[in-house]
């Protein structure tokens, strides 16, 4: 038992140290950014991301540092990630629209009006919010069911029945919303070209013919991977790009 307690304490200390490291790197990045050391600021933000304590503000600041470092593709990628975590991040949305105007390739994107409206309505900066709501509603639902079973009062039974139905609706809604939010964040079926110019080949071979070219910042749909190659689709055309020339959102 004593050994188990030591393991828990070590795990808690490790998690705390990782969070503290992330905060320190984030603060360090902000200071470098203020001092106009943009590449160094970007490196600090990247190290904060490596600690797995990710949030929309961190990606937004990283996007700004990338943009100031003339890394357009990575800036677009970071702003996209910021909006994936928090669709209500207006600063990231504004900056993304601005940097997209600087890209050389004009990519046709489906109208996301309805889906974006739903994301902005339901998803926010707190990734686990709906998961917490579902847990709370399940506990309340369990309490109401127990109350319904043990009480002899007709009035309380009627109220608990109504309350149970309400909690059941909240539980189902919050669980589904948490599920879709998690899937939305985990979905990496899109990517950003991060090299100045990328050759798109007809097949995943160095000697394969080049079908077309894409430039830095182009947003593409990812179909599949094959060793060091990634098959993409853009404007109805598909081809293969080197994995190192694209970054998944």
CB 245 within 8 A of CB 196: no
pTM of this structure? 0.74
CB 217 within 8 A of CB 107: no
Is pLDDT of 243 > 80?
yes
3-state secondary structure of 221: strand
* Residues spanned by the domain of 32: 2-103
pLDDT of residue 15: 37
Residue 111 or 155, more confident: 155
198 and 139 in a common domain: no
pLDDT tens digits, one per residue of 154-192: 899 899 989 999 999 999 998 888 888 788 888 889 999
CATH number of the domain where residue 93 is located: 1.25.40.10
Is pLDDT of 19 > 60?
no
Q: CB count, 10 Å around CB of 42?
A: 26
> Is 206 within a domain?
yes
89 and 10 in a common domain: yes
Residue that finishes a domain, picked among 69, 87, 103: 103
pLDDT of residue 120: 66
Give the largest Cα separation in the chain, rounded: 81
163 and 197 in a common domain: no
Q: Tell me the average pLDDT across 189-209.
A: 95
40 and 70 in a common domain: yes
**Number of domains observed in the structure of the chain:** 3
């Amino acid at each position: 038992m004593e050994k188990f307690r030591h393991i828990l304490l070590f795990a808690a200390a490790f998690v705390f140290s990782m969070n503290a490291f992330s905060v320190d790197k984030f603060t360090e990045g902000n200071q470098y950014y203020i001092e106009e050391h943009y590449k160094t600021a970007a490196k600090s933000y990247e190290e904060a991301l490596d600690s797995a304590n990710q949030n929309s503000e961190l990606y937004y600041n990283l996007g700004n540092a990338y943009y100031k470092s003339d890394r357009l593709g990575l800036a677009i990628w970071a702003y996209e990630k910021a909006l994936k975590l928090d669709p209500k991040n207006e600063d990231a949305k504004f900056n993304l629209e601005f940097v997209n105007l600087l890209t050389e390739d004009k990519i046709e994107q489906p109208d996301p009006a309805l889906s974006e409206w739903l994301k902005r309505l339901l998803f926010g900066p707190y990734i686990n919010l709906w998961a917490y709501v579902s847990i709370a509603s399940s506990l309340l639902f369990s309490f109401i069911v127990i109350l319904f079973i043990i009480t002899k009062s007709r009035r309380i039974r009627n109220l608990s029945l109504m309350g149970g139905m309400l909690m059941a609706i909240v539980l189902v809604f919050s669980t589904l919303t948490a599920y879709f939010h998690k899937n939305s964040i985990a979905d990496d079926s899109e990517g950003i070209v991060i090299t100045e110019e990328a050759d798109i080949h007809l097949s995943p071979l160095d000697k394969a013919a080049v079908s077309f070219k894409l430039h830095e910042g182009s947003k593409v749909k990812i179909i599949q991977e094959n060793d060091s190659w990634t098959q993409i689709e853009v404007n109805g055309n598909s081809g293969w790009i080197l994995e190192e020339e694209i970054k998944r959102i």
